Amino acid sequence: MITDSNDKIKVLITDDHTLFRTGVKASLSHYPDIEFIGEAENGMQLLNLLKFLQPDVILLDIQMPIMDGIAALPEVKKVLPDSKIIMLTMNDDVSMISKLMEIGANSYLTKNSDSETIYEAIKTVHTKEYFFNEYTNKAILSGLKSRRVVEVPTSDDAELSDKELQVLKLMCDEKTTKEIADIVEISPRTVEAIRDRLKIKTGARSTAGLILYAVKHGIVEG
């Protein structure tokens, strides 16, 4: 079966180690729905590439010379707000993961992740916005316990309708907008409207914030 190039997920990798970039590209080369469209050695080079390229998913190393991943992340989101960003690191620092997800990261992987995990992360953030794993879940729960996660509102009085609660729970189950629309029997546009309304009511600024809110308030189990 031949995969149309328009159906492929366009990926760009940014890491200062040539061997690592080459290794990741080689390990994912047998997946027909992944297409690497570019690579960069640091955040500055990445931002220059984004003037010409529009990747769906960016693999972004945290520690790099000239401009590291932490500095590059918010700048990338300004230039390409719909891009999904998977942070790469050698460490599983919980406080760092919380910070990165607050400023726009869609997932967090250690560099020793196998090709199947990296592929699954790319596919999931592309279709469902976030890829949760043991590191991100630990960071979310730790952030909730220490109240460091700024996405979670301090107010407990958000009154959500049954339909809003249903949509929120489905979002936490990583359902896409279309899947939610089919399950609740409403239009995708209405799902988006409910999502916007949930953000206003809860004080969350993103889908991740809504998920954090749902965990903190017992709407779903963390």
N residues, the chain: 222
Q: What is the pLDDT of residues 27-68, one digit of tens each?
A: 999 999 999 999 999 999 999 999 999 999 999 998 888 889
The sign of the CA dihedral 126, 128, 132, 136 is positive
By CB atoms closer than 10 A (0-12, 13-18, 19+), residue 115 is middle
Write down the pLDDT at residue 17.
92
- Segment 86-102 shows an average pLDDT of 76
DSSP 205: -
Against a cut of 0.75, is the pTM above it?
no
